[in-house]
Amino acid sequence: MTSELYLLGFGPEGWGPVLARAGLMTLAVSLSAFLLGTVLGTLTVWGRVSGNPVTRRIAETYVVVLRGIPDLLVIFLFYFGGRQVVSLVGTALGFEGPFDISGFVAGMLAIGLISGAGQSEVLRGAYQAVPKGTLEAGRVVGMSRWQLFRRVTAPQAMVTAIPGMGNQWQSVIKESALVSVTGLVETMRQVSIAAGTTQEHFLFYTAAAVIYLIITTLSDQVFRMLERRSMAGYAGGSH
Amino acid sequence: MDTVYLLDLFKKLLGGLPLTLNLAVFALLGGFAIALLLNLLRTTRIGNAVAGTYIFFFRGTPLLVQLFMIYFGLAQFEFVRSSFLWPLLREPYWCGLIALMLNDAAYTAEILRGGLRAVPRGAQEAARVSGMSRLQILRRVTLPIAVRQALPAYSNEIISMLKSTALVSMISLMDVTGIAREAVAETWRAVEIFLCAGLIYLVLSLIITRATSWAERALSPWQFGARQ
Amino acid sequence: MFKITRALAGAAFSATLLAVSAASADVTDRTIVIATEGSFPPSNMTRPNGELYGFEIDLVNEIAERQGLKVEMISQAWDGMIQGLIDGKYDAIVDGVSITEARKEVVDFTHNYTTGGSTFVVMNASGIDLPMDGEVAQLDDPESIGPAVDAVVEVLAGKTVGVQQATIQSAFLEKYLEDRDVTVRTYPNGPDVYQDLSVGRIDAGIASVTNVPAFLEKNADTASATGPIFIGGVMGAGSGLAVQKGDAELQAALNAGLESMVADGTLAELSKKWFGLVVTPQQY
């Protein structure tokens, strides 16, 4: 196998450049999906704690359904049915077709939707850990609900949420390996093409493993740093 | 959308249920055994490094990559094909089960480690004083407490393993997802088919959630008359 | 859920209408986007720099030149390929797609650019040797097909045969080998059949005579085609390019290109170049 290592290089026969690009694509789609998931997760927590029975029902159903269905099926459903849903929503909103979603958008939406359910669980735990006294204090000094959220709830909840969010981010990276059906050339799709063309399956899937390990390890470091930073100002945190 | 078609579809998809459940159950059982082993390894220095590397690799890469490395990757080598392992690795079922099991072990090992850390020293000391052997302590004191502590996290892992079995459809196995994919390739009624398949997994995971929360309650100390 | 699916089906219908109206612009004025898998030698493969090459890429380029089409080829995983065409993500697909009745319900096909016909492939080490080597077994002829299938089944008894899902070959196995003592293993992706055959996970594979030669060339000493070549009946009419339902203009342009390539023998030459033999139609 060592003699085949040139296939991973950056020479004329090497798949190095496209693999690097695919790795960046994995990172890009994961990042956008994660951010979408954060927005959805926050909305879900809000839906659950706002006291409105309808939004609570919707939020709970969303979490239960997305956590109970295999990621692969969600992605398939999104890819095969996504356009139908988008057309439906688009037409209902009065836009003119045709509607099209790219592989990137389809992948991002599917993983974002899955991650939103997971992130909402982390965020809910973090929200519940915010001392109620601080909220009351904020209310007493006359903060609006938005101000309370932005200045009191969010900063405190974020600190508690960081380790859990780190895990969610790791899941997103791994889920992104499944979006190759959408036509997006990310790491997994690129190594499949390379493995199919060269018949060097072990070499290329190992290369994929290394790419994912690099991404997961580096982001683990980032989250640890964030965790340390955010602890500054708390008892035991360095400053 | 005709009801007859949907009923037929469900019947067809349910044909994959035994395989889905089989893979989930055996992957969890095997994964748990390997996870125990990994935690025992943690007690020595070299073992700790081995277990750490194992967990680092399997938690840091997607299950799909692991599955393809085992299924497509290993089969590429003549020495694997002529080895005693080939009768196993030749079968898609075993490749799928092995990948799921090894993957599950890494996650379960971490969950179990959290549970083991929560076992009070005093309980183990008391057991030692009363003359239990190391195996007895493990079996009667450490594991029951650790498992109870780890149960909430482990119930998530059970559901996640059930969902992960869907990936074996990538290596020609006809589990619920595999049957759904073939049906889509034949009829193009993708939305109905994938929704029905999703519903089957959803019901299963709801059952698991119910069962584990029942187990959590049943295994809680106050159920045995212990003071909180 | 019934309601939801009905609504979705309605949306699908309107989406199809939209796609059709979008596709009606003059065929030489727009860029025709054609999707292929990019990992199915020798029909379509990918160079490390991402460039596609192979029989089907040459074919498409030649048609484009003759018909004055602007063509862009993109790579797409087989899993979502036909769905992407239905959704209008691209204008056509070329990936050894067999022309089947089920597919005709959702997309339109050009003329076939390879002839139908399928054969079993085995690894020599397996010792499997089917009768009627290379003879043509016409599925439309009920008199002779029964005995031919029986003879094949007898040798394959207790063995596992691999085939790609939802293809003419899988339809063939389903029709003729069902309830016989042969295990059929179906694969979402075509190349995986060869992969598993070569490592010995399955005892035989069945595939189109167009992509079998490439596999045999690469494994000249270890693999062979064996048994009859099945044509007609469920084997249908070979592979064609698929276009969106109702895109008659593109269909006509592609057909005209194919016709002229068949007429002057270019298609046969391309076939020889990539497959080593003529597996393309001699006339339409």
Whether the per-residue pLDDT at A235 is higher than 60: the answer is no
Q: B74-93 pLDDT, tens per residue?
A: 998 889 888 998 989 999 99
CATH number at residue B191: 1.10.3720.10
C-alpha distances (whole Å) from B11 to each of B194, B205, C171, C220 are: 14, 19, 21, 44
- The structure tokens 């080939």 sit at B86
On whether residue B33 sits in a domain, the answer given is yes
Distance CA C88, CA B7 (A): 31
For residues C125 and C231, membership in a common domain is answered with: yes
For residues C10 and C73, membership in a common domain is answered with: yes
Distance CA C41, CA C191 (A): 8
Q: Which residue of B has its CA nearest to A84?
A: B191
How many CB atoms sit inside 10 A of residue B152's CB? 12
Which of the residue ranges B29-33, B173-177, C26-30, C58-62 would you say has the lowest mean pLDDT?
A: C26-30
- Give me the mean pLDDT over the C39-45 stretch: 86
For residues C104 and C141, membership in a common domain is answered with: no
Q: What is the pLDDT of residue B222?
A: 67
Q: What is the pLDDT of residue C24?
A: 44
Domain of C143, in residue numbers? 118-235
For residues C216 and C127, membership in a common domain is answered with: yes
- Give me the mean pLDDT over the C153-182 stretch: 90
CATH number at residue C10: 3.40.190.10
On whether residue C284 sits in a domain, the answer given is no
B195 close contact with A: CB closer than 8 A: yes
- The structure tokens 């099209």 sit at A100
Distance CA A44, CA B169 (A): 32
On whether residue B108 sits in a domain, the answer given is yes
Whether the per-residue pLDDT at C201 is higher than 90: the answer is yes
- Omega of the bond prior to B18 within 30 degrees of 0, cis? no
Whether the per-residue pLDDT at B62 is higher than 90: the answer is yes
pTM over 0.90: no
From chain A residues 84-123, the ones with a CB under 8 A of any chain B CB are 84
CB A26 within 8 A of CB A215: yes
A63, A88, A182, A202: best mutation site toward chain B, by most B Cβ within 10 Å?
Answer: A202
User: Under an 8 A CB cutoff, do C11 and A84 touch?
Assistant: yes
- Give me the mean pLDDT over the B160-177 stretch: 95
On whether residue B226 sits in a domain, the answer given is no
Of A5, A12, A10, nearest to A20 by C-alpha is A10
For chain A, give the percent of residues with pLDDT over 70: 87
CB < 8 Å to C49, chain A = 17-18
- Give me the mean pLDDT over the B180-205 stretch: 90
- Give me the mean pLDDT over the A97-115 stretch: 80
User: Under an 8 A CB cutoff, do A197 and C11 touch?
Assistant: no
For residues C32 and C105, membership in a common domain is answered with: yes
For residues C84 and C33, membership in a common domain is answered with: yes
User: What is the band of B102 on the pLDDT scale with cuts at 50, 70, 90?
Assistant: very high
Nearby residues of C236 by Cβ (< 8 Å), 6 or more positions away: C98, C99, C100, C101, C116, C168
Q: Which domains does chain A have, with CATH numbers?
A: 2-229 (1.10.3720.10)
For residues C101 and C135, membership in a common domain is answered with: no
How many CB atoms sit inside 10 A of residue C183's CB? 13
B61 close contact with C: CB closer than 8 A: no
C165, C173, C187: best mutation site toward chain B, by most B Cβ within 10 Å?
Answer: C165
Number of separate domains in chain B: 1
On whether residue B39 sits in a domain, the answer given is yes
Number of separate domains in chain C: 2
Q: What is the pLDDT of residue C16?
A: 38
On whether residue B52 sits in a domain, the answer given is yes
CB < 8 Å to C174, chain B = none
User: Under an 8 A CB cutoff, do B187 and C102 touch?
Assistant: yes
CB A88 within 8 A of CB C7: yes
Distance CA B184, CA B203 (A): 22
User: Under an 8 A CB cutoff, do C50 and A18 touch?
Assistant: yes
Whether the per-residue pLDDT at A2 is higher than 60: the answer is no
